[in-house]
Structure 1
Amino acid sequence: MKFKLHFIIAFMALNFNAFGQDKLLQGQVSFVTTNNIYVKFDDTSFIEVGDSLNLGGTDRACLVVKSKSSTSCVCSIVNDCEIQKGDEVVFNYVVKAEPETKQETPTELLLAAPVVEETIESMYTENINGSVSVSGYSNINSQRENRTRVMTRLALNASHINNSKFSFNTYLNYRYIFEQADSTSLPQNSFFRVYNLSVRYDALPSLSVIAGRNINPKISSLGAIDGLQLEKYFGKFYIGAIGGFRPDTFDYGFNSDLLQYGGYAGVMTDAKKFYSQTTLGFVEQQNAGETDRRFAYFQHNSTIFKNLNLFSSLELDLYSKVNGVTANDIRLTNLYISARYRISRKVNLMVSYDSRKRILYYQTFQSEIDRLLDDDLARQGLRARLNIRPFKYISAGFSYARRFRSDEQNKSDNLYGYVTWTRIPSIEGRLSLSYNRNESNYLLSNIGSIRYSRDLVKNKLFADFYYRFVDYNYYSMIDTFLQHYIGTNLSYNISRNLLFSVSGEMAISEIDNNYRIYARIVQRFNSKQKNRR
C-alpha cells in the first residue's frame, strides 16, 4: 500500500510538471498616446509579440502586444476597450517544465559526433505585426441632414526585417465623408493622414538611427518629427539628437518651412526594486527661417518597490518676440505631476496635478500675439482616483477632477464613479454601472449608464448592450436638455486575426432623434504566429 501511494504521488508530480502551471502576470498602463498603449511589467520574458492582454478585473482581451522590451510592452487597443494611464493589466500564461535530457556517455558522444555545419545566427529576430481595418459610420437624424463616412487604417511594425538591422513602422489613416447632393457645407470631405512612416537602422545594439516621420517616446509631447533621429546608449546613460520639420499645422502634411532641431540626454536605471528614466532636452522650432519657439523639456518616470509610480514632465519656453523685440524670457507652459500608489492587490490610488498655458509660436501667430498674451493664464487641474476590488468579481472606482484658472473662468468640477460585476451567477457576463456629474460656469450635466456584456459564443461572438441618459442644464436656458441612448454592439471573431463588429445606437430627445450605425472589419497579422504553427 505504501509503495502504491508513493507511485501515485510521483505520477501526479510528473504530470503536473509536464503540463505546466497557469500563471498570472500583472502590469499597469504607464503611458497612453494616440496610437499606442505602454504597459509596464516586472518581467516580459513570458510575453510574445501578438499576445493578448486583459484589463484587470475582466476576462476580455483589450490589448495586443506590438513590441516589447525586458520590462514593458507597446500595445494597441482591441475590442473598443477604454484604457487610461494607471489601469491594471494582466497576462495569463503557462510555465512548462523543461524536458529531461538524456545523459550521454563518452562513448555515445564520440559515436554521435558527425561533422557539424557552422552557422552564424543574427543577433536580431524578425517580427512583423500590424493590422488593416475598414470602418463605416452613419448618422441618421430626423431634423438635420444625414452623414456617412468611411475610414481605413493601416498599422504596420516590421522589426528587424529578414533578421537584419533595418525596421519599418507606419500608421496611415484615410477618411472620406459622403456629402448629400443638395449640401455644400463641407469645405473638404477627403482626409489622408500619415501619423507615422519611418525606417529604423540599428547600427549597433547601442546606436540607432530613425529616418522619416516618427514620434519619439522620450519626447512624446513634441509630436511627430519629419527628419532624422539618432540615439546612443553608454551603459545606463543615453544621448539623442533630432533634426527635421514639424507637420503642417492645418493638413498635417510635410512643410519644409517648419524646421526644428534639438537634442536630449538622460539616464535609465532598471533594477529589481527600482526603475527610473529621466530625460532633459532642448528644441528650437522655426517658421520660414525665423524662430517660432525655443524651449527646454524634462520628463521623469520611476517605479519604486513595484508599488509607487511617479511621473512628471514640464516644458519651459526660452524665447519671446513681441512688437519686434526679442527676449530670452522663461515661461512655464506645461507642468504635469502624477503619483500612483498600489496600497494592496485590491486597492490603488492615483493623484495628479497639471498646469498648462497656450503654446505661443511667435512667427506663426505674430498678428495675434498681443491678444494671446492678454489671456496668458494657466489652466490648472487636480485629479484623484481610487480603484478598489472588495470582492473577487466586483471592482469599483471613484474619481474627482477639478479644472480652474486664476480668473475663475472655464472652471469645472467633475465627479465619476463606476461599479463592475464580472461572472454574474446563472446568466454569466459582466454588468457595469457608471455615473458622471460635471459642473462648469455655464453647464451642469448628469450622465448615467448601465452596460451588460458577455460572450454569446465562447471566443467567437461577443455582445454588448447599454442604456445611457444625458441631462444637460444650461444656466442660460430655462429648459433642460435630456437625451436617452440605447445601443448594442456585436463582435465576431471570424478567425484568430480577423474581426468583424457592428454597433447600433438610438438617441431620443424632445427635439430630434438620432440613429447611429457603425461597422468595422479588422485583419491583424503577426509573423510569430505563423512560425508557431
Structure 2
Amino acid sequence: MMKLIATISAILLLTFTGNAQEVFQKTIEGRVSYVSMQNIYVSFPSTEGISTGDTLSIKSGDKLIPSLIVTQTSSISCVTKPLTGIEPDIDDVVIGRANIVSKAPEVKIVTKKPETERAEKEKISAKRKEKQRIYGRIAVASYSNFSNTDVSDNQRMRYTLSFQGDHLGGSKVSTDAYISFTHRSGEWSQIQDNIFNGLKIYSLALKYDISENTDVWFGRKINTHVANIGAIDGIQVQTRYKKFTFGLAGGTRPDYTDYSINTNLPQFGGFVAHSFKTKKGNASTSLAMFEQMNGNKTDRRFAYFQHSNSLVKNLNVFASCELDLYKLENDVPTSTLDLTGLYLSLRYRPWRKISFFTSYDARKNVIYFESFKNLADRILENETRQGFRFQVLLRPFNYFTASLNAGYRYRKSDPAPTNNASAYITYSKVPWIDATAAINVTMLNTSYLNGMQYAFNLSRDFCKGKLYSRLNFRVIDYNFTNSPTGMFQKIGELSLSYRILKKLQITANYEATLEDSNLYNRVYLGLIKRF
C-alpha cells in the first residue's frame, strides 16, 4: 500500500510540475568592485537576467536609489555609468533586478544500481556546467533635433541588437554580439554608398570550449585582458592553469574611419595574466605584447601592463601603461622604449563615511564612432579626462552624499594649464516628495575658455518602481579667450522610463537648450525589448 501511495504521489507531482515554466523578477545583490574616471564596475554572484540598459540601485539606509546604467555585462560583473553626480565607493551594495525564466525539473521514478546512479550524477553534473543561458536586448530609438533657427532639423533612427548566448543548446558553443544601425533622414544615399556609414558591429563572435580551462573565440571580440587594444577581428585562444591565464590572438584591426573589416591592418600578439584571492583582498596582473601592421609594414609594436589589487585594507590600487617598442627614424626601423600611455589610481577609505581618490591619466584620447552628447558635455569631457585628479567623498549621515573634485592637466601641446573643480551634493530622501535631489557646480579653466556650470537634478520612482522620472536643469556660462562672444545656455531636461512588461520598456527624453533668443530641442524616444 505504501509503495502504491508513493507511486501515485510521484505521478501527480510529475503531472503538475513536469512542464511548468515561470518568469519572475529576482533581486540580486552585488558590490562595487572598482571605480574609474569613466566607468563603475559592479560584481555579482551571477549577472543572469541583467542586460545592457538596465538600471541598478545603490542601497542607502533602507532606501534604494536608482544610480547606475548598465553598459556592458559579463557572467559575474557589469560595467556601468552613473545616472547622477553620485559616485559610489568600493564595496558599496548595489541592487539589480533580473528577469529569470525558471522551468521546473522533471520528476522520474527510476530504480538503478548504485554504480549506475553515480555515473548518472556525473553526467548530470557535466550537463549543468554546460547549461544554456540566453539573454539579450533589441532596441529601436529615435533622436530628433529641431530649433527656431536656420539650422536644418534632422532625425536619426538607431536600431541595436545585444545578444549573449552561453552554451547554446547545452553545447560547448557560446556567442556574443552587439550591433547597431543608424541612419539620418534625408541621408540614405550615404548608406547606399557604404553600408558601414550606418552599420557598426562592435562585437560578433563565437566561442568554443575546447576543455574546461581552454577556449577559442572566432570573429570580432574585445578581450578583457587586453581591452586597451580594442576589438580584434580574427581568432583568440586562451587557457587557464591554476592562477595563470595565457592567451594568443591574431587577425586584423577594424577600419579607423567606419569600423568595417580592413584586412590591410593585421595585428597579432599574446598575453599572460595572474590573479589570486586572499582573505584580505585580491590582486590581478597582466602583461601583453602586440604588433600592429599596415599592409606588410610594422605600424606599431608595443607592450601593455596592467595591475590591480585590494590586498591592503581599505586601499584599492590600479595601474596600466603602454610602452612602444618600435619606431622609424629617417625611414629606418629601430627598437625603442617609449612610454606612450599611463594611468594610475588610488582609492583609500579609512572610514565608512569618507573616502579619498586620486589618479593620473596620460592615455590617448578616446575616439567615438557614435556620440549623442551636446557641445557643452563634449567640451567638459575632453578637458577633464586627462591629467591629475583628486576627489573626496563624504557621507556624514544617511541619505546625504557630498563630493569635492579637482583636476589639473598640463601637456607640452597646451599653451596653458587646464584646471577644473566641481562639487556635488546629493540627498536621496527629500521630505514630502520622497525623491532624490542633487546639486552640482563645476568650474573649468583652459587655454581657450573659462567658465562655470550649475546643475540641479531631481529623480523619483513611481508605480512601485515601474516608472522612473528625472528632471534636470543646467546653466552653462563659458567665456572664450579669443572670441568676444561666449556660450551662455540654459538647458532643461525631462526623462521618463516606464516598464510596460517585465521585459518591455519605453523611454522618452526631452531636452531644451535656450541660447540668447534661440531655442534648440532634442527629443529621444526608445523602445527596449529584453529576452
Which residue, 3, 28, 32 being the options, matches 1:28?
32
Q: 1:304 aligns with which of 292, 311, 316?
A: 311
Report deviation, 1:458.
2.1
What residue in structure 2 maps to residue 240 of structure 1?
247
Verify: 1:342 aligned to 2:346, yes or no: no
Q: Is the 8 A contact 2:67 2:86 kept in 1?
A: no
Residues 124, 164 of structure 1: 8 Å contact kept: yes
1:171/1:81 CA distance change after superposition, 3 Å: farther
Contact 2:495/2:509 (8 A) holds in 1: yes
Amino acid at match of 2:354: V
Paired residue for 2:93?
A: 90
Offset at residue 380 of structure 1 (A)? 5.9
- The equivalent of 2:57 in structure 1 is 54
Q: Which letter does structure 1 place at the counterpart of 2:309?
A: S
Whether contact under 8 Å (1:53, 1:90) holds in the other structure is: no
Residues 393-452 of structure 1 deviation map (CA, whole Å, 9 limit, x = unaligned): 111111111121146526311111111111212111111111111000110121111111
**2:387 counterpart residue number:** 381
Superposition pairs of residues 127-526 of structure 1, within 5 angstroms: 127-143=133-149, 144-179=151-186, 190-305=197-312, 307-356=314-363, 381-406=387-412, 408-409=414-415, 411-510=417-516, 512-525=518-531
Counterpart check, 1:73 vs 2:77: yes
2:198 alignment partner, SS class? strand
The offset of 1:25, in angstroms, is 5.0
Specify the code of the residue in structure 2 equivalent to 1:465.
L
Distance 1:404 1:48, change over 3 A: same
- Residue 485 of structure 1 aligns to a residue whose secondary structure is strand
Bigger shift: residues 444-453 or 473-482? 473-482
| 1:155 CA displacement | 0.8
Note the aligned Cα RMSD (angstroms): 3.3
For 1:28, give the aligned amino acid.
Answer: V
Q: Structure 2: give runs of 5+ residues left out of the alignment.
A: 1-25, 98-108, 367-384
Q: 1:46 to 1:207 in 2, by over 3 A?
A: closer
Identity %: 31
How far does residue 272 in structure 1 lie from its aligned partner after superposition? 2.4
Contact 2:504–2:528 (CA under 8 A) maintained in structure 1: yes
Q: Post-superposition, which runs of at least 4 consecutive aligned residues in structure 1 deviate over 4 A?
A: 22-26, 31-34, 46-49, 63-69, 75-78, 80-89, 186-190
With structure 2 as the length reference, what TM-score do the two structures score?
A: 0.79
- C-alpha distance in 2 between matches for 1:259 and 1:392: 54
Q: Which moved more, 1:350-359 or 1:125-134?
A: 350-359
Which amino acid is the alignment partner of residue 156 of structure 2?
R
Q: CA deviation at 1:248?
A: 0.7
Equivalent-residue separation in structure 1 for 2:156 and 2:512 (angstroms):
18
Aligned length: 459
Shift of 1:204: 1.5
**What is the TM-score with the length of structure 1 in the denominator?**
0.78
Structure 1: distance between partners of 2:342 and 2:213: 31
Cα distance, 1:259 vs structure 2: 0.6
1:334 is displaced (CA, Å) by: 0.2
Distance in 2 of aligned mates of 1:467 and 1:47 = 34
The 3-state SS of whatever aligns with 1:204 is coil
Q: Quote the offset at 1:75 in angstroms.
A: 4.6
The answer to whether the 8 Å contact 1:466/1:486 transfers is yes
Is the partner of 1:219 in helix, strand or coil?
helix
Does the CA contact (< 8 Å) of 1:30 and 1:85 recur in 2? no
Quick one: structure 1 residues 340 and 279, their matched pair in 2 at CA, closer, same or farther if it must change by over 3 Å?
Answer: same
8 Å contact kept, 2:477–2:486: yes
- 5+ unaligned residues in a row in structure 1: which ranges? 1-21, 95-111, 360-378, 526-533
Task: Provide the secondary structure at the position in 2 that maps to 1:338.
Answer: strand
Q: Deviations over 1:183-242 (max 9, x none)?
A: 99x998951100000111121121111111000111110000001111111100221111
Distance 1:187 1:431, change over 3 A: farther
